[in-house]
Structure 1
């Protein structure tokens, strides 16, 4: 059994245990393995343009806002943009700041035919530390995974 297969099985089990409305939930480190090992996989970053520019991005991710800055209104074109950019048969992993917007994006994608939709837990920046700062406790950045400044 490949490492990717084991990761997917854990992600499926997390979804089942939590009764999630999508296929599975991944840690940032697991998402990186899937990106490296699977042929038809895509990471979709659903944060805002401002977050991409000022906080950073994962190279080669598809960037589709779930909510638009500054009013944080739901992007009415999200699904259309997703359908234009990502194959519905792909393993598609959604990433946001902490895992909340990406949870909603994964649920919408799954409900619209993306049968391998996953949420990346902890998000790009993760939880706040005791000083109220993100990016140090957990999440993509804290795990030391590849990212670039926007």
Structure 2
């Protein structure tokens, strides 16, 4: 798995239109916090028990047809690493993780999007 800063991931996605951009956060995060423009939602873990989504692999295979590059993003970069390792284990040859995720690390006041991450870098995002 390769790791990309948010701006690098954005540039990669622009130059590789065949790549699949997967936001692997929970459905609530995806819908209510917002998500990168162009990202599809396939939760790695979701409530109420926060178990690994048993359909993650199948949905990812359907989205990427196994041969397309996959770029994963989560809130801060931890879940996307786990999801990326899982995809690699099951044969995905080209997996990228977005460092610092969508919201980035917490600051001293426990707020996100103030230090790093997709939103902090001013990259396109939307809320549905």
Q: TM-score, normalised by structure 1?
A: 0.82
1:128 equivalent to 2:88? Answer no
Query: Which residue number in structure 1 is paired with residue 26 of structure 2?
Result: 48
1:75 equivalent to 2:53? Answer yes
Return the match for 1:93 from 71, 75, 89. Answer: 71
Query: Which residue number in structure 2 is paired with residue 146 of structure 1?
Result: 124
Shift of 1:71: 2.3
Runs (5+) with no aligned partner, structure 1: 1-21
Q: TM-score, normalised by structure 2?
A: 0.95
Structure number with higher strand proportion: 2
Q: Cα RMSD over matched residues?
A: 1.0
Query: Which residue number in structure 1 is paired with residue 91 of structure 2?
Result: 113
1:50, 1:69 within 8 Å by CA — same for their partners in 2? no
Structure number with higher helix proportion: 1
Greater RCO (Cα-Cα under 8 Å, separation 6 or more): 2
1:60 equivalent to 2:38? Answer yes
Rounded Cα–Cα distance in structure 1 between residues aligned with 2:29 and 2:62: 22
Is the radius of gyration larger for structure 1 or structure 2? 1
Q: Which runs of 4+ in 1 moved over 3 A?
A: none
Rounded Cα–Cα distance in structure 2 between residues aligned with 1:61 and 1:87: 16
Rounded Cα–Cα distance in structure 2 between residues aligned with 1:146 and 1:39: 16
Return the match for 2:17 from 29, 39, 44. Answer: 39
